[in-house]
Amino acid sequence: MTTLLEQRYRAVLRMLPADYRARWEEDMVDTYLCGVEEDEQELRRPSLAETASIAALAVRIRLGASGSSPRRVEAGEAIRQFALISVLLQAAGALTYTALGLRVAGAAQGSGDGGWSATFGADPLQVTVGLLPLLWAAGYAALVGGRRQAARGLVALAALPTLKPLVVQLTGGPAVLTAEALAAWAAVAAVCCGFHCEAPRTRLPFLPPGLALAGAGVAVGGAVVAWPMVADPAWGPGWVVVAAAAALLLGRLRAPERVAPATLWALGAAGVCVLLSRVDTLRFVVGAGVGPGLAVPWAAQAGALALAVAALCVSAARARRGVRSPAP
């Protein structure tokens, strides 16, 4: 006879993939019920720790844990690549915009101290919040260095300032831009879920980690310096995504075996996040009646990002079909 506790455990185990449950559900249920008296099984529920453990196991299995199917291994690799690319873009943007902001404010004030206070303010809490985005760079370094637990904490701290617009809007404040916050927390979620304890080491293709960060920072800075009037937080990273997409697609044409489908999917997903931020900003400024000086460059970037994302997705789909159906 099935007890209420057994039914509850089986309901929680439905978070696991069907093929995994078919192999291990009975053993897991027997293990959970072991030592529990039958009369108590009508009163007890799965503990929060047990539910969280099963949920974590479900994430690991779906993202390439040992024994996972090739499709899940590829999905896990794509999530980890997306996490690396997203954190890289966030780090390059934070470092570059902070450095340029200090330089501009310092020049306007005539001293380094003036530049610091003009950029971050004088209040210690405001300074702390202003410096938190720099932890994206520390999180990126922790990821590429294999320190996954530290990386999770660092990227979560770095993303905290993006919650302010969401809180303002949810508490009845004026409409603000929220896509940037969603992109930041998507990166945090990818780091927490993708880099689990059984995940293999993940590297960006073609470039060493340090060179990739330096190159992205230079590209973001160049885009900001070239078009300072339209340089919002998505401006520099947007052109980095477009340039990286062009490089990946060209590299795939020359050496298809060097560019995995997971990398194409990951860069495409990162491009979608930047594109959402760009569309959000464009919608906001157009609604506010801003002239074409801002709208036209941002619309052009939105079009370039959309084309890059579409090309990446098409190339990834074709690459995956090639992997699934190899030539005899």
Predicted confidence (pLDDT) per residue in 104-155, tens digit: 655 555 544 455 555 555 566 677 777 899 999 999 999 999 899 999 999 9
Task: Say if residue 328's pLDDT is above 50.
Answer: no
- Look at residue 326 and tell me whether its pLDDT is greater than 50: no
The confidence score (pLDDT) of residue 291 equals: 66
CB 84 within 8 A of CB 191: no
Mean pLDDT taken over the chain: 83
Mean per-residue pLDDT, 32-55: 81
CA nearest 90: which of 164, 197, 182, 199? 182
Question: Which range is least confidently modeled, 85-94, 115-124, 318-327?
Answer: 115-124
Q: To the nearest whole percent, how much of the chain has pLDDT over 70? A: 84
- The residues, ordered by sequence, that sit 6+ positions from 234 with a Cβ below 8 Å of its Cβ are 180, 274, 277, 278, 281, 301
Q: Which residue has the tokens 């060179």?
A: 211
Confidence of residue 241 (pLDDT cuts 50, 70, 90): very high
Q: What is the mean pLDDT of residues 216-237?
A: 88
Mean pLDDT of 261-268: 92
**Higher pLDDT among residues 256 and 82, named by residue:** 82
Average pLDDT over residues 285-294: 69
What is the predicted pLDDT for the residue at 156?
Answer: 95
Q: What is the pLDDT of residue 213?
A: 93
pLDDT at 160: 92
pLDDT surpassing 80 at residue 25: yes
Which pLDDT does position 320 carry in this prediction?
Answer: 76
SS3 199: coil
**Residue 327 pLDDT grade (very low, low, confident, very high; cuts 50, 70, 90):** very low
**pLDDT of amino acid 120:** 54
Predicted confidence (pLDDT) at residue 50 exceeds the cutoff of 70: yes
Q: Which residue has the higher pLDDT, 296 or 41?
A: 296
Q: How many CA atoms lie within 13 A of 293 on its CB side?
A: 7
Query: Is residue 63 within 8 Å of 72, Cβ to Cβ?
Result: yes
Mean pLDDT of 297-301: 91
Higher pLDDT, 166 or 281: 281
Q: What's the pLDDT at 325?
A: 47
* Average pLDDT of the segment spanning 241-252: 92
Question: What proportion of the chain, given as a percentage, has pLDDT over 90?
Answer: 37
Q: What is the mean pLDDT of residues 44-67?
A: 85
- Confidence at residue 65, expressed as pLDDT on a 0 to 100 scale: 73
Helix (H) or strand (E) holding 137: helix 135-144
pLDDT of residue 60: 87
Per-residue pLDDT at 233 exceeds 60? yes
Residue 307 is encoded by which pair of tokens? 């084309």
pLDDT at residue 306, rounded to an integer: 96
Q: Output the CA torsion sign for 82, 88, 94, 100.
A: negative
Lowest mean pLDDT among 38-47, 138-147, 196-205, 309-318: 38-47
